[in-house]
Structure formats: C-alpha cells, structure tokens
Structure 1
C-alpha cells in the first residue's frame, strides 16, 4: 500500500474516486482479505453524524443484498455507524449509460432495447424481493466492458437533494404520482425505465425545463414528443411501447416490470424480423439446366474429356454421353412456360388487396378523453391527430368525431384525426371571463405543482 492509499475497516485499500454525491464518495478499492476489486461507498464525516444518512446506507445495503440477479450489483459488506460507514459492492468498469450517451450520442434501437431489457429483468428481481430501487436514471445504469447493464445499489429511501441540478435531474424521472406526494413503488420504477429508454434512443429527456418546478410541471401536464420526431429511424413498435410506459393515465400505462420485460422481448423479436426481411438469407444456389448436347464436368466424364459436349476423339458430332432425344422438347416447354409466367407477371391482372398482416382495425374513440383516445390509437398501431372544435352539446375535452370511422380497415401507422370538444362557443365578454378564470386556474395549478415539487424528497444518486 502506497502513501496515497487508505486502509478502511482493516481490509479495503482505496484507490481512485469513481464518483459519488454530496455526502459520500465511491472509490475503487482492493479487498485484501478476499483479494478482489470492489467499489467502496464511504460516507464523509459530516454524513456519518446524520442518523438519516446512516439509516439509508443500512437500508440500501440490506435491500440490495436481498436481491440476487445478474443485472443488479452485488453487495459484499457494509457498516453504518458514526465512526465508520461504508458499503463494499461489485465494481463495474465500463462506466454509466449516461456517460456513454454523452460520449457517443443516442443508441441504435436494438442496443437501447437490449439495455432496457436487462434493467427490466433486474427490476423484476427487485420487486419480487418486495423492494423498490427508487433511483432509476441513466446514471444508475452501469455498463460492463462487454456492454451488459448493471443496476446500482438500491437507493435506501428518499433524502433531500444536495443541489438544484440533482433535484432537477431527479424530477425528470419521477412519475406523476411521486411528484404528487406518493411514495416510490414498483410502478414508479417502471415509469423511470420508460424515461431511460426514451433518453437512450433520442439523447434527451421526455420531460424538461429550466428548473425543478418547470420539469415537474412538464411531467404532470405534458405528453412527451414522440421519439420518432426527435430521432430518425425509431421503429413504431418501440415508440408505441415507450409512449405507453410514459402515459399519465395509470389505466393505460405499463406499471409492472414483468409486463415491460415481456413487451421489450416482443420488440426485440420484431426488430429481428425486420432485419431479416431487410437482409434476407441468400437463396439456395440453383444449377442451370444444361443445353442440349452439353455434359457438365463430373457428370459422366471429366471437364477435359469433352469440348462443347462432344468427345475430343469424336468429330462426328455425337455426344460423349448417351443420347437424350427427349431433352430438347422438354427444354422448349420449360422456356415457353417461363415466358408465359413472365408475361403474366408483367401484363396480367394485379392483386390490389393488402396483406392482412399490414392492416389494422380503427378502434372507436368517440366519448373518450383526448389522452385516452391517443393511447387507444397507439395501442392499435395508429397515429392519433387531435383537432379542437367547439361543441354546444359535448363536454369539454371529450372526443365527438373521428376519421376514419370505427371498424374501418386501414394500414398500420395510418393517421386517425379526431375532434375534441372545447365546449360551447362563447361571447367576447364571456371569453374574457373564461380567460381570466383559466389564468387563475393555471396560476393555482402552478402554485400547487411548485409546492409539491419543492417538498418532494430526492433519493441519493448512486454512482458505482
């Protein structure tokens, strides 16, 4: 051990700093007892005097230790008291997903789905152990040197954000329910995975803003911009999954890691099938029929034994092999038949019917809310285009017309336009009143969101 190293707990020789937060450092270390490399999270002196920080470290170590899954880091050892507080974990040398995105930009769809599948598998194990990760971000997804994902240790519970950037960053992955004051749970972990997947293929967060309040307001109110509008080549099947993972309506949202993993598996299969169609396996090689009078080398004689199918020693024109007088009419019939097929394909009647696999049925979204209609159409493989219109009889925010009509067979990804009521037509004076009321409502809503956000507790960011 050199003079720059420190021996912690009588066994861990510390090395370079890997990361950390305001209250702790993550160090590369060597376990001298077991002769292996570890990542060592060490609380700083000021944090060791905080009973809450010690309790979170204890819970993080114990809850992570209760999970056994190759997609979650292992915890080897821990201690949590005022004199010494640390947690020894599996070290992952490939950096974080966040670092990869900053260095190389958005991931190809297949790679993003592969990483998300690993994270989802880890979440299945975490939730099966009755635990919650509570801090799923691109910073908490570690990558091995081979590119396999590993989730960092579980958060151990909420804590106050150490700075504005940390609070803003965390608000961007919080589900609407957590921002509304609910505790983090399995469903909020899956929501955060949707945010990570969105960021992986676009390079940006689905919800953003200048500060924590603006980000939280976006989560509570906004529908994310479709990934395909931010990044070229995002497959529709993947976009559809992400948008359902980030639906504000819990009734249409994917809320369990098991379902997310199953759907990611289907996306993987779809991408593989698409790649196969785009790059088909070479067709089996076919041999051309020999022209009458020719014999292929190796079929009844060597190549050198014949010249244009005539025996070298026979200048009379007789073939070296047995006579095949039937071959000429057969070949003529084949040529005529192929010519007929070619003519039919070029000039014969065309089948204008679409393949049933390419067609979907337009669902009925009349009387649904605009958001529910959008989700319903997404699930059907269609693109919803809302159009606001006044209506004297239909409640504001309700769909009252759509085109194409329900039950119509259309191509997948077809745009379905639907009319959303803005309520009855108002006079100028009532419009002013409405505007004033709307402004008051908006102010009130913003105030509520601000209050909620500022009291939202922020779990620590674990970087290992």
Structure 2
C-alpha cells in the first residue's frame, strides 16, 4: 500500500486509494507536472517478482496505450518506481455502468441507444487494431456525470497476433456476460466481445442480466443451452427491431452474430425507425450440437489451459499403456495365476498402500497445496459465493459487513483476498457483504432556520430544494413543512428533500396609483388592508387632486398593514406662473447737425459743408441695440437691433414668472440711451 503524499517517480503524488484488486491497487494522484488528477495502477508488492503477472500487467498498458478514443480510458504513462510497476491513467469521475443502471433504470430508449453507440464506437476501434477486450461488463464501463461512457480494464485484452497469449491466457470475464465459446475454453474473438455487448444491452433495457443461477457453472450452462429470455415479455414498449439487435448479438453460433461492432451500431441506430416497426423476430439457426454438448468445467470462471489439457491426456495415455502391458503379461494358467495371486496379493496391496502414501507425502512436502485463483464474487449472495469458492477449492472465511450504494443488501461487495488473487487451495476467503446503502434519519425541521438545516442535510449527502410560501405565523426564513416525514430513514445520496420556507406575511405588488383620486386611493387601501399617508405638492403635469407618485413605487412587494405615502397634486405652483406684458419706449433720432460746432463759418463754403454733413447723417441714421432680461431672455444677449432716421417708438415684450421683474438696456450709436427694471 502506498501512503498519501508519496511521490511516484518524482511526479505523481498519491492522494487517496481508489480500489484494491487481485493484481494491482489503484490510487488517485496529482500529476505535479501537468497539475491534473490521474489514476495510478500499481502492481501489488507480492506480485512484483511474478514474471507472468508482470507480463500481463505490461500487456494491459500496451493494449490500452494503442487505443486513443474518447470512450476509452486513456493511458498517460507507464513506468517503474523502485521496482514497482505502475500505469498512469485518465481519472474518470463518476460511477460504473452497473451502479448507473441500478440508479436510473428504466431509462429512455434514446438514452440507451446513445450509451451503446459510444461503447460500440470504442470497441470498433479496439477490434480494428486487433485488440479484444475479453471481459466486457458494466463494472468495466464508467459513466461520467455528463453521460459520457468510457471503457476501462483492458487488463486481459490480448492482441490477435500475440500467439503466446492465445496459448496461456484463456481467461474468462464475468460469467453473466461470457460467450459460450469462451466458457468452453475456446479462443476469444471480436464476436465474443459482441456477445457481451448484447448482454449489456439486454441489461440496459430490462435492468437485469438474462441468466442467473446458484453457481457460475449453472449460469454458463444457460449460456450454452437456453435462449435469451424475451425482453418484450418484460416490457412491451421495447420494439421488435431493438430486441432483434440483442438476439443477433447473442446468437450461440459466433458466425450468426454481427460481424463487427460497427455493423451492430448501424443496426441499432435504425432500430426505432417506423419503417422497421413490423420487422419479424430474429431467430438464429440451430447451433452446432458439438458446441451445445460441450462440458463446462467445474472450476469456472477460469477455463482449463492448453497445457493442463495436454497433461491430462498424457496421464490418460499412461493409464491405458499400463493396462495393456498388464494384459499382455498374463501368460500363466488360470490355476497358477490364482495361487500366485493368493500368495502375493496381501503383500502387493500392503506394499502399494505404503508406496502410495509415501509418494503423496513426498509430493506434499515437495510442492505443497496447489495454487488457485479467487473468483469474482461481487454481486453474489452468500450461498452463491460459497458455491463459487467451493468450485475453486476454497472456503468461506470471516464475514464482514459494509454499507454500499452500488451493491444490494446481503450481496457480496468484494472478497479478501480480492478477485484474481492467487492463493493456496483450501484457503479461507473473507466475504465483505453489503449492509445496503447507508441511511440517514430525517428529523422534524418545522420552524427551524432553512440555511442551517440545508447545510446539515447537504453535508449528509442529500439534495435540498427550496419552495417559498407566505405565512402569518412562521417568521421569514424558517421552515413551514418538509416533503419527507420525520423519522423516515433514506439513502442520502439518492434522496431529494423539498423544504417549504416562510417568506413572511402574505405579500402583493403595490398597484400603480398614478392619477387616482384621493377617494380611489382610500378605497384601494381599505381593500388591501394597508395604511396611507397623504402629502401634497405642486405639479405642472398632473391635475390638482390626482396622485403624482407613491412611496414605495408601483410594483413593490408589500404586506398587509404596510403604510404607504401618496403625493397628491395641488396643481401648478402660482409662484411659478408666467405673466407677459410690454413696455413702449420712445427713442428720439439724433442727427449730426444737432452736434455741429456753434462757431461754424458763415461763408458760402461753410454753409455748403454743413448742409452736406446734415444730409449724410440723415441718410445714415442712428444704430439702436436693445437688450432685455426676463424668463426667456438673458440681459447679456442682444434682443433686437434697428436703425432709425427719425424719432421712433419701440415696444418691448416681457415674460416673467411669479413676482419676478424684467429689465432692459438700449444703446444708440454705441452709447447707453436708456435702461431700467419693469414689472407687470
């Protein structure tokens, strides 16, 4: 076991243990180089010197490294740390497909088809690269929170061109998903994986596997001899074309199955099409009787290897040869033989017994008990596990109980030692049995603070939803009622509880009272049981006696008994009323002769000059500039300009507000002529 914090190869820091298996332990780790979480599978210490196990471990890394697909768990790195073999893989958050089916069954057919399409796509890639999984089952398929599936555990996957592996690694997957040819010890092919995929599809559609029994042998025999149970009998909503996909994938004869995962995927995609609604049921032709009659070995799920079969054949041949020799050697007469037999029989029997006992004792001393493999007991009942262990010359040891959300109560979660562990025959195997999912007792949360209760329930694993409701008796923020009764025990992670929380006294949106009369406002207030504080204000836009505004504003949520302030219009402000008036001012014309010198010459020339100047002034005129200041004009701005050639009256128009005054200023030829203030 690796401790938390250990740095594998100076890079992968161990965070936690994810699982323990018969061959390897899996840890959650942090890749300190790329700052991401990964899964590190480490070969167990007691197997670090087992060359066959090391080769299998390395074969897993090789098989998976060759596969790059979004629906296959990726392998990032392979290495050795202080003699420990390890594989660094993608860390997939979520659950396995077995647990997913248990929690979500029944699922929409479209969702089932989408999951299978992802699985088939991944297996098509593996098969196209010559790799067979050999152990496809829901426990080896992970489902992320987003619904993406990823196939894991290519630990017994073998490349088709690996000839040594085909001779020494006749390994079988879980018996519920095993193909008939694998169960009889035959070589697995891509169609063996397709058989398992058909069983997985059956489980997705029905929530259970097609064959069950008290032992692995019983289940394997059913794979040989029994037809797949009708899914439409369990659920008539399953269309016949979809059932046909399962039936064809699980045909007893591999030749009658889909020839590839891609072919199965294509057939599956159209299985819900209306055009195929009247499709007849798929019926496979009769299976070869030699296959049907094949004997299932008692030590399933591990088939006898080729070398074991060869050894058995040699032993049988030796027995036959011995029998033949004994027959040939008998040449004496019957009487002589009888006498000889009577004379030497006791000694022969005694000597044979002693010799046999000595031989057995020597073999026990030399070899000890033979090694056997612990079967996969997960999901079995105690009696099923006992039978499976007996089939492998093992015994049930101590029973340990744990909570589990994935495994039903009283079924086996795992064994100690774990599945695929190599142990001596007659060893005891401890069984870890499920106590069922850990339950949580619901309390009475009435009148408690919602935030405090939510925090407590969320920590326990429940999903909490909130529903608001007004209440005259329960303070805002406190719980009125709960969807699950007090005292009930629930599985926290599978439970959603709805808490109805008080929003305080009943509320309603304040109506838009603009332009309402005072009487209308009072009637509304009486109907809604609210209080009104009236104030008045001048308004140029709202008629006197009508509502200008409210505080709070229209649309605000208020409760009964609330006091609102309503501003009523008094009409226009008299002080701001505009008044217009005018003032007429006489502006005399000033000619240049009025300003000529008094000592002007009296001669003709002077007289002519003066006359010419007066005539020029009269023609040019006086330039008048007028400035006014009132409500509409600024005194600094020119109001009007004009030129006069005679005395002229000018009328000035003023506008003022309230009691304000106006002012004016007039210049003539650039000089101030008149100015002053005026009132209406």
1:188 is matched with: 192
Instruction: Tell me how far apart the structure 2 counterparts of residues 7 and 358 of structure 1 sit (CA, whole Å).
Output: 59
> What does 1:272-311 correspond to in 2, within 5 Å?
none
1:374 counterpart = 2:221 = no
Instruction: Tell me how far apart the structure 2 counterparts of residues 64 and 114 of structure 1 sit (CA, whole Å).
Output: 23
1:453 is matched with: 300
State the Cα distance separating 1:16 from its structure 2 match: 2.6
* Native 8 Å contact 2:27 2:41 kept in 1: yes
2:206 is matched with: 202
Residue deviations 1:99-150 (CA, integer Å, cap 9, x gap): 1122333433221211111111001111111111122100111112211111
State the Cα distance separating 1:357 from its structure 2 match: 7.9
Instruction: Tell me how far apart the structure 1 counterparts of residues 86 and 130 of structure 2 sit (CA, whole Å).
Output: 24
State the Cα distance separating 1:450 from its structure 2 match: 2.8
1:329 is matched with: none
Instruction: Tell me how far apart the structure 2 counterparts of residues 44 and 357 of structure 1 sit (CA, whole Å).
Output: 52
State the Cα distance separating 1:84 from its structure 2 match: 0.9
Seen in structure 2, the aligned counterparts of structure 1 residues 180 and 357 have a Cα distance that, compared at 3 Å, is closer
* Native 8 Å contact 2:175 2:301 kept in 1: no
Instruction: Tell me how far apart the structure 1 counterparts of residues 277 and 125 of structure 2 sit (CA, whole Å).
Output: 37
Instruction: Tell me how far apart the structure 2 counterparts of residues 155 and 82 of structure 1 sit (CA, whole Å).
Output: 22
1:263 counterpart = 2:267 = yes
Consecutive unaligned residues of structure 1, counting only runs of 5 or more, are: 160-166, 275-355, 364-372, 377-396, 399-440
Instruction: Tell me how far apart the structure 2 counterparts of residues 229 and 50 of structure 1 sit (CA, whole Å).
Output: 50
State the Cα distance separating 1:55 from its structure 2 match: 0.9
Instruction: Tell me how far apart the structure 2 counterparts of residues 105 and 71 of structure 1 sit (CA, whole Å).
Output: 22
SS in 1 for 2:199: helix
State the Cα distance separating 1:176 from its structure 2 match: 0.8
Would you say how many aligned residue pairs link Structure 1 and Structure 2?
A: 294
State the Cα distance separating 1:169 from its structure 2 match: 6.9
* Native 8 Å contact 2:212 2:219 kept in 1: yes
SS in 2 for 1:116: helix
More off after superposition, 115-124 vs 5-14 = 5-14
1:132 is matched with: 132
Residue deviations 1:63-96 (CA, integer Å, cap 9, x gap): 1111121111110011258821111111110211
Residue deviations 1:209-243 (CA, integer Å, cap 9, x gap): 11111111111111110122234522222111111
TM-score with structure 2 length normalisation? Answer: 0.40
Q: Quick one: higher RCO (CA 8 Å, sep 6+), 1 or 2?
A: 1
RMSD of aligned C-alpha atoms? Answer: 3.4
* Native 8 Å contact 2:135 2:173 kept in 1: no
* Native 8 Å contact 1:57 1:80 kept in 2: no
1:217 counterpart = 2:64 = no
Instruction: Tell me how far apart the structure 1 counterparts of residues 299 and 142 of structure 2 sit (CA, whole Å).
Output: 31
Instruction: Tell me how far apart the structure 2 counterparts of residues 107 and 254 of structure 1 sit (CA, whole Å).
Output: 25
TM-score with structure 1 length normalisation? Answer: 0.57
State the Cα distance separating 1:22 from its structure 2 match: 2.1
Residue deviations 1:397-437 (CA, integer Å, cap 9, x gap): 99xxxxxxxxxxxxxxxxxxxxxxxxxxxxxxxxxxxxxxx
Larger Rg: 2
Consecutive unaligned residues of structure 2, counting only runs of 5 or more, are: 159-164, 166-170, 305-372, 377-418, 421-680
1:107 is matched with: 107
SS in 1 for 2:95: coil
1:177 is matched with: 181
